Amino acid sequence: MKFLKTLPVLAGAAVLLSACADEIVQPISPDSPLASISQSETVAGSEFVGSNPEPTGSYIVLTRSGRIASNLYSQLEAAGGAVTHFIPEIGVAIVAPISEDFQDRAARIQDVESVTPDYVVQWIDPSTFQAGEAFTAEATTSGTDAIGSTAVFRSFQWAPDAIDAPQAWASGFTGQGVRVAILDGGIFDDHLDLTDNIDRAASRSFTTGEWNSDTGTFWHGTHVAGIVAASGDVGVVGIAPRATLVGVKVLHSGSGPFASIINGIVYASKPQSEGGAGAHVINMSLGATLNYRDNWGSKAYRDSFRELTKAVDRATRYAYQQGTTVIASAGNGATNFDVARELFKIPAQNEHVISVSATGPHGWGFGNTNFHNPAYYSDYGKSLVDISAPGGTVGLAIVDGNFNLCTIVGEFRTITNTCAVFDQVMSTVRGTTTASYNWAQGTSMAAPAAAGVAALIVERNGGRMSPHAVRTALHRTTADIGIRGNHEFYGHGWVNAARAVGVTDGTGPARGQPARGASASAGRN
């Protein structure tokens, strides 16, 4: 059961710090940096390239045939390059130049379509908003084996209830046997709510550091992974709590080259029998917004990003052909892509990618259940968004200027904080322990919620399902929130886990009140 009360804001308080049971933690105040963020700015999760990308010094070579001929290595070497990586599945080579005229000479090779400088970009905004340092939990005991029933912070997770995930679990759909690749900055694999669900042997890094490393204590990839498949054994529960996670590190501190993204997509979707991760679903809570008309100054820049977009298209097309559903965050620039036609979002607008916008409640701490409200920061537009999902929002503070406090009395913990904090998504983080948790907001949080629902859909179909069929199922089984057709913000609708697996009509989150506290659901499969 969840109880609440509203308190006056504490003067001069700072952002949230660590908390123990029955503790009033330091809240966000009107004087904090958060309060000065405008509605149109990126706040959390990802997704705007605000400065010119930096060249890596390497080149991405695309072949016309889409294959790697046996003599291409020697031809590139003769052109003055050192091949560092071939991606034969999509006809791409990564080459470091040895001679200054490598690009011109390589472009004259008969089967070469383009030779393009690779660039490092910031795919995840470094100012990602999170609610201070991490909460910690210790395992609890309970008389039931129901999923999430012993999770210390389950009472603070409105998102699974909002999309009727407990009803799906109660019917036996938990993501068991479905592989979800998390393309991000790294997953903290010792986290107690993730450790048993991670396929370490299949996890890889395509950039700086090992696949289970990153910087700081938040670890964006760890938060994302928990939204998909936290076990619910200790602190929080994911949408598909028995799915298998594969960590594919393509970023470090939120940035990385295009080559890493392309490599990661191909590896994640390649069958295990061929040495790949064999993912049924890929989640990419990352993105770059490219302004072809205004930002890139010269034709050379525009040509470069056209070719790099083609390379990403080849990777996502390959994933589609392998039967892997690719899901990406729509972005946090509060921009209508139907109007801003000069913009292109990678990878959300690449071929066969399901793009997800974010929603969040406005005052859950007051008892509000408007979970499908559009998040103030989310990018939108019929040309961008496929579906929408819970991503959280601090709009209560940012938009309304409401910095009042709420006290939430959960099943195992009582927490007092600025009411807007509770409107965000709580999940796993790196923290300072093996059981640390925190809130965050963004389309970065919405995409893994949709990925978790996709995993449930694939499980229901016996583990074999084409990406087209998964997309169709996601579109067809969205919650009834009174929209029809393709909506500029919701796309084809707001995800619903129970409806996706055929166990409810999906009217719960739109018309009823979600469960409070630990969910009543089926035991571990």
* Average pLDDT over every residue of 179-191: 98
Q: What is the pLDDT of residues 346-405, one digit of tens each?
A: 999 999 999 999 999 999 999 999 999 999 999 999 999 999 999 999 999 999 999 999
| Collapsed DSSP state (helix, strand, coil) of residue 266 | helix
Whole-number average pLDDT of the chain: 85
* C-beta of residue 434 within 8 angstroms of C-beta of residue 190: yes
Structure tokens given for 389: 């999902």
pLDDT given for residue 34 in this prediction: 46
Residue 225 in this model has a pLDDT that exceeds 80: yes
* Average pLDDT over every residue of 40-60: 59
Structure tokens given for 12: 């001069």
DSSP notation for 331-356: -SS--BTTT-TTEEEETTTSTTEEEE
Residue 109 in this model has a pLDDT that exceeds 60: yes
**In sequence order, what are the residues at sequence separation of 6 or more whose Cβ sits closer than 8 angstroms to the Cβ of residue 363?**
370, 396, 402, 419, 423
- Burial (0-12, 13-18, 19+ Cβ within 10 Å), 230: buried
83-100 CB burial, b ≥16 within 10 A, e <16 = beebbebbbbbbbebeee
Q: Which residues are catalytic?
A: 184, 220, 444
Q: Which single residue is written with the structure tokens 């068991």?
A: 176
Q: In 366-442, which ranges are continuous DSSP H helix?
A: 395-398
Q: What is the pLDDT of residues 417-442, one digit of tens each?
A: 999 999 999 999 999 999 999 999 99
Q: What is the pLDDT of residues 283-292, one digit of tens each?
A: 999 999 988 7
pLDDT given for residue 294 in this prediction: 64
pLDDT given for residue 297 in this prediction: 58
Residue 165 in this model has a pLDDT that exceeds 80: yes
Domain boundaries, the chain: 3-51+125-511, 56-119
Q: What is the pLDDT of residues 21-46, one digit of tens each?
A: 333 344 555 554 444 333 333 333 33
Residue of 175, 163, 246, 241 whose CA lies nearest to 460 = 175
- Tell which CATH classification among 3.40.50.970, 1.20.1510.10, 3.30.70.260, 3.30.70.80 matches the domain 56-119: 3.30.70.80
Question: What stretches of 360-480 adopt beta strand conformation (E)?
Answer: 387-390, 405-409, 414-418, 425-429, 436-440
| Collapsed DSSP state (helix, strand, coil) of residue 375 | coil
* Average pLDDT over every residue of 220-224: 97
143-166 CB burial, b ≥16 within 10 A, e <16 = eeebbbbbbbbbbbbbbbbbbbbb
> Rg of the chain over CA atoms, in angstroms?
22
pLDDT given for residue 8 in this prediction: 28
Residue 140 in this model has a pLDDT that exceeds 80: no
- pLDDT-based confidence at 504, cuts 50/70/90? confident
| Collapsed DSSP state (helix, strand, coil) of residue 3 | strand
* Average pLDDT over every residue of 222-232: 98
* C-beta of residue 261 within 8 angstroms of C-beta of residue 267: no
Q: Which single residue is written with the structure tokens 């986290």?
A: 191
| Amino acid, single-letter form, for residue 43 | V
Residue of 20, 41, 24 whose CA lies nearest to 129 = 41
Structure tokens given for 438: 């925190």
Q: How far apart are CA 358 and CA 446, in angstroms?
A: 5
pLDDT given for residue 519 in this prediction: 29
pLDDT given for residue 40 in this prediction: 31
| Collapsed DSSP state (helix, strand, coil) of residue 427 | strand
* Average pLDDT over every residue of 464-473: 96
pLDDT given for residue 270 in this prediction: 98
Specify the range with the lowest mean pLDDT, choosing from 74-78, 87-91, 386-390, 510-514: 510-514
- pLDDT-based confidence at 144, cuts 50/70/90? low
Residue 518 in this model has a pLDDT that exceeds 60: no
Q: Which CATH architecture is the domain 3-51+125-511 placed in?
A: 3-Layer(aba) Sandwich (3.40)
- Angle, helices 220-229 vs 443-460, to 10°: value is 30
DSSP notation for 158-190: HHHHHTTHHHHHHTT-S-TT-EEEEEES---TT
- For residues 265 and 298, the model is more confident at 265
Q: What is the pLDDT of residues 261-284, one digit of tens each?
A: 999 999 999 999 999 999 999 999
Q: How far apart are CA 390 and CA 370, in angstroms?
A: 11
- pLDDT-based confidence at 458, cuts 50/70/90? very high
Q: How far apart are CA 234 and CA 245, in angstroms?
A: 17
- pLDDT-based confidence at 10, cuts 50/70/90? very low
